[in-house]
Amino acid sequence: MSNVGQSIPHDSAVGHVTGRALFLDDLPLSSDELHVGFVGSPAACGAIEKIDIDAAKQIVGVVGIYTADDIPGEKCFGIHYRDEPVLAMGEVLYVGQPVVVIAAETKVALERARRAVKIEVRPDEPILSIEEAIEQKRFLGVPRQIRRGNPQQSISAAPHRLSGIFHSGGQEQFYLESQAAIAYPGEDGQLIVHSSTQNTTEIQIVVAEALRLGQHQVVCICKRMGGAFGGKETQAAIPAILAALVAHKTGRAARLIYNKDEDMISTGKRHAYRTQWEVGFDPRGRIVGLRTNLYSNCGATADLSMAVLERSMLHAENAYYIPNIEINGRVCFTNLPPNTAFRGFGGPQGMAAMENVIHAIASHLGLDPLEVQQRNLYGTLERNFTPYGQHFRRNHLPKIVSMLAASSSYTKRREEILVNNAHDPLRLRGIALSPMKFGISFTTKFLNQANALVNLYTDGTVQVSTGATEMGQGVNTKIRQLVADEFGLDWTRVLLMPTSTEKNNNTSPTAASASTDLNGAAAIDACRKIKQRLTKFAALRLASTKLALTESQEHVEFADGWVYDRRRPEQRIKFGELCKLARLERIDLGARGFFATPGIDFNRETGQGTPFFYYTQGAAVAEVEIDRFTGELTVPRVDLLIDIGRSINPGVDRGQVIGGFIQGMGWVTAECLVYNEQGTLLSHSPTTYKIPASTDVPRVFNCAFFDNDDNVENIRRSKAVGEPPLMLAIAVWGAVKQVLSSMNVGSDLRLPATSEEILRCLTLSGFFRVPVPSVNGSANGNIDVPAKNPVEPTST
């Protein structure tokens, strides 16, 4: 029986429910282990005048206190731009930026020392908003553009034109296990770093560079993470380097575990975006031209911001064919922690901005937004090239959208809701659909590779190691199924081992939803190498003159733990027995596999190419209910329909879809990053930063997979599932937008649509007016612009 397609449990599920699955801070302290912590910048920017560590040094139990000067090698790191200091050098860039690192014998001594360190900064005026950064031209890199046709002319000639500004907020990853690293010194300057990271190879490299070691002297291991969501793709670097620095300096094991507050204050999040848009469309809502300028809030250093922006631009048209289009993008530096990867990686920001445009068009024309969406969806036979020139093959969106509209009774419910809103004195309801198309592959081409190590033992059990890191998404479980199928084994005979640079070198981050695609394919490659050897050997063993069975590799079958010749299946050998015999015959029972995604390429300079291997597609319908007086929002029902090809593990994948959706719902409704004027994050713990809780889950939650068998290039015809469902939640925001549009307000509705934001809009509908509105959004509203072009050109 095939393992693939079965909902086998997560490979750590029993460990999770018993508490026996260990996370970094659960590892026993070694006898000499030091507790490490840092002291962060008190200011968002300015020159460091003085770092006073004298008092801290005197505290009993303090073993070492270090600053940037103590880093022997590279003091800065960064994948694309080496601009991020490990510890602040001369100036500080954001509040909470690590400046001083302290190692102590006990947690109590560490805490006392941290309080005793005094960092004096001559504070400058921080830049916190995108608007300020634009004004001061604080941009990263060159402007990016993707363009097709003649957008300016087509918009000018269009019968209807709208323009506006759309704001989407940032989002904290809120992985439950905060950033963590433990470094163990080895012999001859070697280091073993256990890191809660999505990217063991990067940790290995940055640690080696900072400590001036060869990469071969550093091993990075990650057994599992307590969630990551992109937040540990690059941001695991600082804690790992700091722990490694202490281990290197002291020769003792060093443990650095962030607490939730310092994690939230000092690490990057999803980028906030400001999108200026201008659209031209016909009376039936079909878009003829769109210009959109995306500005992202990068934070203080580059991190992955350019790649994130790129993905926003590659998803700025969401699911729609737009004949004339211009997408411009700029990354804006601010004095916030460096914003970084977060599930969707810029895609959500681009797509939400597009859905905002759709709703604006529908509202302007008095149409059901679904009509506008369906009129603009990518076609299957025509209208199926993206703005960046990729042929959108196997487009199932028209079918998905119509199926979902029918199964969710969208039209009937919409009518009922409109009637109900006219009569209900307490509540308003709204409903919206939103389609989703998400490109799968790293847009940075070289990252689309993976290697795997497969070892067979003489009892027929298998260990597999890949560069994929397990953060809960179930990559190990899926690879387990893929490998078990290759050898015809039960999945219990296969184990996935901790991710380590010792076994898998030069790996890509576990990101871009593609880790099962890449690492699974590499593991299969390794399996097939071994299987080839075993097949040859088995053919020889199974051949029998007595049974008149000639030696034939073609007829060798691996199934249900047995190996046999198809012509005489009853004449079989246990898989383990075959492995034992193979060893005696000196046949190699281990192999390394490799995979590089074929056929993808993208030219950043021209904005053209084929960046994606394929697209994961889907749609969602969400219904919302709003308290007319408080703006409080509930989501009573959602219906999701998603095309993830042939699911390797429907149980795991369903978890990804529902979990991703709820996370996205948090982004579009309730999760609010609040900073003060000095750039300090005020919402830095779950007391003030509210991710969805159990009672926020829609009471009616329908989640279905679109039956689809056509993703032939990918492993076992599956599709990536990690990020895409998050963007289905844009439907929830759309439903709020619908409610407000029906009351002729909310043209400037921001994302997230918090109760406060909703009430601000409702108040403008004339129910009650606040004396002085704090957030005056009227300047940002959509206005029909017959003559002037309010979209400022940003490309040069």
Partner 1 sequence: MRDYLLVFINGRRHLVRGADCWLTLSDFLRGRLGLVGTKIVCSEGDCGSCTVLVGQPAGEHLQYRSIDSCIALMFQLDGRHIVTVEGLGGSEELTPVQQSLVGCHASQCGFCTPGFVMSMTGLLEESRQLDEEDWPQGLTGNLCRCTGYVSIFEAGKQLGDLQVQSLNDRYPPETMLNELAAESQAPFGIETEIYGQPGRLFGPTRLSDALEFLKRNLSAKVVAGATDVGVQINKGIIAPSVVLDLNRIEGLGDAGIEHGADGPTLIAGARATWSQIETICREEVPELARIVSVFGSPQIRHMGTIGGNIINASPIADSLPFLLVMEAELELCSARGKRVVPITDFYLAYKQFDLRPGELLARIRVPLLSATQHLRLYKVSRRRDLDISTFTAAILMQLQDNRVVDIRFALGAVGPTVVRARKTEAFLKGKLFDEATMRAAANIAASEISPVSDVRGAADYRYQLTRNVLMKFYHQQQVSEAHEIIHV
Residues 172 to 211 in contact with partner 1, rule: CB under 8 A = 174-178
Contacts of residue 412, defined as CB under 8 A and 6 or more positions apart, other chains included, come to none
Site for partner 1 contains 602 (CB under 8 A): no
- SS3 call for 228: coil
Joined together, the tokens standing for residue 541 give 């063993």
* Closest CB 425 distance from partner 1, rounded Å: 4
Query: According to the 3-state scheme, what is the secondary structure of 717-785?
Result: HECCCCCHHHHHCHHHHHHHHHHHHHCCCCCCCCECCCHHHHHHHHHHCCCCCCCCCCCCCHHHCCECC
- SS3 call for 695: helix
- Tell me the window of 169-177, 348-356, 480-488, 784-792 that interacts with partner 1 (CB under 8 A): 169-177
The residue (of 418 and 697) whose beta carbon lies closer to partner 1 is 697
Active site residue 723: yes
d(CA 20, CA 37): 26
CA distances from 681 to 43, 176, 263, 438, 692 (A): 11, 18, 11, 31, 20
The residue (of 224 and 311) whose beta carbon lies closer to partner 1 is 224
The residue (of 366 and 425) whose beta carbon lies closer to partner 1 is 425
Q: Position 632: which residue type? A: E
- State which of residues 76, 559, 697, 785 lies at the interface with partner 1 (CB under 8 A): 697
Burial call 153-165: b when 16+ CB within 10 Å, e when fewer: ebbeebebbbbbb
Number of residues located near partner 1, criterion CB under 8 A: 89
Site for partner 1 contains 26 (CB under 8 A): yes
The residue (of 434 and 656) whose beta carbon lies closer to partner 1 is 656
For β-strands 590-596 and 449-456, DSSP reports them as: antiparallel
* Closest CB 428 distance from partner 1, rounded Å: 13
Site for partner 1 contains 775 (CB under 8 A): yes
Angle value at C-alpha 231, between 501 and 234, nearest 5 degrees? 45
Question: Which residues in 460-479 contact partner 1 (CB under 8 A)?
Answer: 471-474
- SS3 call for 101: strand
Query: Other C-beta atoms within 10 Å of 1: how many?
Result: 9
Site for partner 1 contains 91 (CB under 8 A): no
Joined together, the tokens standing for residue 282 give 């016909």
* Closest CB 360 distance from partner 1, rounded Å: 25
The residue (of 17 and 540) whose beta carbon lies closer to partner 1 is 17
Q: Please report where in the chains the tokens 């593991």 appear, as a residue.
A: 523
d(CA 603, CA 617): 24
The residue (of 268 and 387) whose beta carbon lies closer to partner 1 is 268
- State which of residues 5, 6, 9, 149 lies at the interface with partner 1 (CB under 8 A): 9
- SS3 call for 609: strand
CA dihedral for 584, 495, 343, 657, sign (positive or negative): positive
- Tell me the window of 2-10, 34-42, 79-87, 371-379 that interacts with partner 1 (CB under 8 A): 2-10
Site for partner 1 contains 31 (CB under 8 A): no
Nearest of 337, 281, 346 to residue 144 by alpha carbon: 346
Joined together, the tokens standing for residue 198 give 């999505």
The residue (of 21 and 596) whose beta carbon lies closer to partner 1 is 21
Question: Which residues in 210-249 contact partner 1 (CB under 8 A)?
Answer: 224-229
* Closest CB 128 distance from partner 1, rounded Å: 15
The residue (of 47 and 693) whose beta carbon lies closer to partner 1 is 693
Torsion from C-alpha of 40, 44, 46, 49, nearest 10 degrees: -30
Site for partner 1 contains 3 (CB under 8 A): no
Site for partner 1 contains 366 (CB under 8 A): no
The residue (of 185 and 631) whose beta carbon lies closer to partner 1 is 631
d(CA 283, CA 365): 7
* Closest CB 340 distance from partner 1, rounded Å: 16
Joined together, the tokens standing for residue 496 give 């996935």
* Closest CB 271 distance from partner 1, rounded Å: 19
Question: Which residues in 617-646 contact partner 1 (CB under 8 A)?
Answer: 627-630, 632, 634
* Closest CB 628 distance from partner 1, rounded Å: 8
* Closest CB 171 distance from partner 1, rounded Å: 11
Site for partner 1 contains 458 (CB under 8 A): no
**How crowded is the C-beta side of 159, counted as CA atoms within 13 Å?**
10
- Tell me the window of 11-19, 381-389, 435-443, 575-583 that interacts with partner 1 (CB under 8 A): 11-19
Contacts of residue 516, defined as CB under 8 A and 6 or more positions apart, other chains included, come to 468, 475, 478, 479, 648, 715, 718, 720
Question: Which residues in 736-765 contact partner 1 (CB under 8 A)?
Answer: 754-756, 759-760, 763
**Contact (Cβ atoms closer than 8 angstroms) between residue 441 and residue 597:** yes
- State which of residues 4, 10, 104, 647 lies at the interface with partner 1 (CB under 8 A): 10
- Tell me the window of 308-316, 516-524, 677-685, 741-749 that interacts with partner 1 (CB under 8 A): 677-685
- State which of residues 774, 779, 784, 786 lies at the interface with partner 1 (CB under 8 A): 774
Site for partner 1 contains 498 (CB under 8 A): no
Question: Which residues in 400-439 contact partner 1 (CB under 8 A)?
Answer: 425-426
- State which of residues 17, 55, 142, 157 lies at the interface with partner 1 (CB under 8 A): 17
**Contact (Cβ atoms closer than 8 angstroms) between residue 162 and residue 219:** no
The residue (of 551 and 632) whose beta carbon lies closer to partner 1 is 632
Helices (H), ranges, 381-474: 397-407, 410-423
- SS3 call for 102: strand
Q: What is the largest CA-CA distance in the chain?
A: 99
- Tell me the window of 79-87, 280-288, 289-297, 684-692 that interacts with partner 1 (CB under 8 A): 684-692
The residue (of 119 and 287) whose beta carbon lies closer to partner 1 is 119
Q: How far apart are the first and last CA of the chain?
A: 59
Residue 452, beta-bridge partner list: 466, 593
Site for partner 1 contains 569 (CB under 8 A): no
* Closest CB 768 distance from partner 1, rounded Å: 5
Question: Which residues in 303-342 contact partner 1 (CB under 8 A)?
Answer: none
d(CA 86, CA 776): 40
Question: Which residues in 101-120 contact partner 1 (CB under 8 A)?
Answer: 111, 115
* Closest CB 36 distance from partner 1, rounded Å: 17
Residue 370, beta-bridge partner list: none
- State which of residues 47, 406, 540, 682 lies at the interface with partner 1 (CB under 8 A): 682
Question: Which residues in 648-667 contact partner 1 (CB under 8 A)?
Answer: 651-652, 654-655, 658-663
CA distances from 486 to 285, 406, 481 (A): 51, 40, 9
Contacts of residue 418, defined as CB under 8 A and 6 or more positions apart, other chains included, come to 742
d(CA 191, CA 196): 16
Site for partner 1 contains 60 (CB under 8 A): no
* Closest CB 186 distance from partner 1, rounded Å: 25
Question: Which residues in 345-364 contact partner 1 (CB under 8 A)?
Answer: none
Q: Which of 723, 756, 757, 792 is flagged as catalytic?
A: 723
Radius of gyration of the chain (CA): 28
Question: Which residues in 251-270 contact partner 1 (CB under 8 A)?
Answer: 259-261
What are the residue numbers of the active site? Answer: 723
